Amino acid sequence: MAASDTSHATRLRTDKSGLPAPRAAASAAGAASAPAAMLLQQAREQELAGSLADAIGRYEAAIAGAEAAGEARVAAEAQRRLAVVRHRRGEREAATALCERSLEVATEAGDTVLAGEALNTLAGFDFESGAIELARARFYQALELGGSSPELRGRIEQNLGILANIQGNHDEALAHYQQSLYAFQRTGDDHGCAIAYHNLGMVSADRARWEDAEECFRRSLEITAAVGDVHLTGLGLLNRSEVHLARQRYGDAKSDAEAALRIFDRLGTRLDKADAYKVIGRVYRETGQLALAEARLTAAIELAVSTDSVLSEAEASRELALLYQVMGRNQEALRFLGAAHRLFGRLDARLDLVDVARRVQRLEDTYLAVVRDWGQSIESADSYTFGHCERVAGYALSVAQALGMDEAQQTTIRIGAYLHDLGKVRVPHEILNKAGPLSREEFEIIKQHPVWGVELLATVDFPWDIKPIIRWHHEKYDGTGYPDRLRGDEIPLAAQVICIVDVYDALTTTRSYRAAMTPKEAAAQMHESRRWWRPDVYDAFCRTVPAIAAAA
Ligand SMILES: [Fe+2]
Ligand SMILES: [Fe+2]
């Protein structure tokens, strides 16, 4: 499991010092300029100390004063900084409007560095809302306009590192972060160095280089303690807590994450709080405190929703699903996995990010793990069918491939295979395990299991079309199946695939009423019943499964 989420780093870019306020003051001519520049400086100090409400008031006063005095540069800088603070508090629209205004004012004043600053900040906002290509374009535009400032160049270099990182290019990210560190060291920007170390820590954690990661976070936290950036301290603590978590140091993980949470609480930064709750929830889950884990992960989701952060909501939903799996609450686990999948789908449609693809892959792996566990827990009630779901899934996959089904259809088939007999949990144990033939009444009960399976999943929405497989995996092409006596192509192809391999597995395993057949015997018997399946399904089956089973 990745130790850190890129979302922590992405928020850093909007948090940089731009043109230092004293320089803005010095450059603004005349005594009338002093108050606005001074207000800006005070606002910055309040912001760094974590008094955001005071800082907002002071920034607003600085903007009003600068506008009245015609001090474009002070106004542009105050607008941009206020935008950053508002954005951190989840006020996205106000933040964007302020920053766009800052860009206009700086451009009118002919200050390319301040215009570059505004673009850099706007790109950061784009990035967080998921508009990744727009963000990239703006970062390059910012570099073009403001690259004459080594200090700004260092930060853009860092932002490009963040982009490389989220796209899974860790080497490239590392190189960008190192460049940004050198730039900040050259300009003597301690705050910049603290951020660079922080991001180097994150990329090291992504590569599971835990010791490097810890050392980078230690240096970053050391510098932030000296320069007094409370927010960055919180982020450093939270990300270090994920390193502890990955190394199973649960006590350290909890104390770092809780210290981070106290900071974010004080700052009122809800999205960071969401991430802190998520880590604390994971610590509780890993240490078996399941009720506490549920409370924290639920809080993480609520906060992510309230700040409109799709990525955080998706990640927290996946973590909660894993908790429900541990608790045996499988329907809820699948519900939250479905929610996470839909959220990633929204991101994927906009971003086409490698990193999202990796997260979706991880999510689908989680899906398979949850349904496999659930399928196996059903088998444990029926000693004769142990391993049935796993074999059906394996056979079905090879038939699906022989039929030329695509990746999504193959995933549908695999998940359907694990869950196809879910409804058997409602069939009495003595009927499932009965030695000898079933009575008519008993068979009527067995025949309900496809319907019961779908009922058990009534509250679950799958990203794949699983339910037709469950309901119709006993339907036959000649209309002799159950529960709906469908005929021909009324039966979905995926259900036919499961049907044929299900029959094969039943024949080739020992049952309470007869011994297992060899693959050859089973294939001969199925040849007699080939009217039960669509001809291409039967052909695909013959070309793959008996040979695979015989070789196994
Ligand atoms: Fe079945
Ligand atoms: Fe089955």
| Band (285; pLDDT cuts 50, 70, 90) | very high
Assign 151 a pLDDT band (cuts: 50, 70, 90).
confident
- Give the ligand at the shortest distance from the Cα of 453: 1
How many Å lie between the centroid of ligand 1 and the Cα of residue 548? Answer: 22
Compute the distance from residue 492 Cα to the ligand 2 centre, in Å. Answer: 17
389 and 530 Cβ atoms separated by less than 8 Å: no
- Residue range 217-259, pLDDT digits in tens: 999 999 999 988 999 999 999 999 999 999 999 999 999 999 9
d(CA 21, CA 38): 8
Q: Work out the pLDDT band at 18, boundaries 50, 70, 90.
A: very low
CA of 424 to the centre of ligand 1 (A): 8
For residue 417, the ligand closest to its alpha carbon is 2
Ligand nearest to the CA of 396: 2
Contact 177, 168 (CB under 8 A): no
Determine the 3-state secondary structure of 337 from DSSP.
helix
What one-character-per-residue DSSP string does 41-93 give? HHHHHHHHHT-HHHHHHHHHHHHHHHHHHT-HHHHHHHHHHHHHHHHHTT-HH
**Centroid of ligand 1 to alpha carbon of 133 (angstroms):** 48
Expressed in angstroms and rounded, the spacing between residue 421 Cα and the centre of ligand 2 is: 5
**Residue among 202, 198, 194 nearest 164 (CA):** 202
Q: Tens digit of pLDDT for each residue in 515-546?
A: 899 999 999 999 999 999 999 999 999 999 88
Nearest bound ligand to the CA of residue 473: 1
Report the alpha-carbon distance of residue 57 to residue 383 in Å, rounded. 70
List the one residue out of 551, 547, 552, 545 whose CA is nearest residue 417. Answer: 545
Q: By the 8 A CB rule, do 548 and 392 touch?
A: no
Q: Which residues of 214-241 are buried (b: 16+ CB within 10 A; e: fewer)?
A: bebbebbbebbeebebbbbbbbbbbbbb
Where is 432: in which H helix or E strand? Answer: helix 429-432
The per-residue pLDDT for range 426-480, each reduced to its tens digit, is 999 888 888 788 899 999 999 999 999 999 999 898 889 999 999 999 999 999 9
416 in Cβ contact with 466 (< 8 Å):
yes
CA distances from 274 to 279, 280, 296 (A): 9, 10, 9
**130 within 8 A of 350, measured Cβ to Cβ:** yes
pLDDT, residue 26, reads: 35
Give me the percent of the chain exceeding a pLDDT of 90: 68
Instruction: Give me 302's structure tokens.
Output: 């609520």
In angstroms, what is the span from residue 214 Cα to ligand 2's centroid? Answer: 50
CA–centroid distance, residue 360 to ligand 2 (Å): 28
CA 448 – ligand 1 centroid, Å? 9
Which residue stretches of 89-209 are H helix?
92-108, 112-129, 132-146, 150-166, 170-186, 190-206
Nearest to 446 by CA among 474, 413, 478, 486: 474
C-alpha to C-alpha distance for 343 and 315, rounded to whole angstroms = 9
Q: Is residue 275 scored above 80 in pLDDT?
A: yes
H or E stretch at 266: helix 250-267
Distance 420 CA to ligand 2 centre (A): 6
Backbone angles phi, psi at 514, to 5 degrees: -165, 165
* Residue 34 predicted with pLDDT over 60: no
Q: Give the integer Cα–Cα distance in Å for 96 and 129.
A: 11
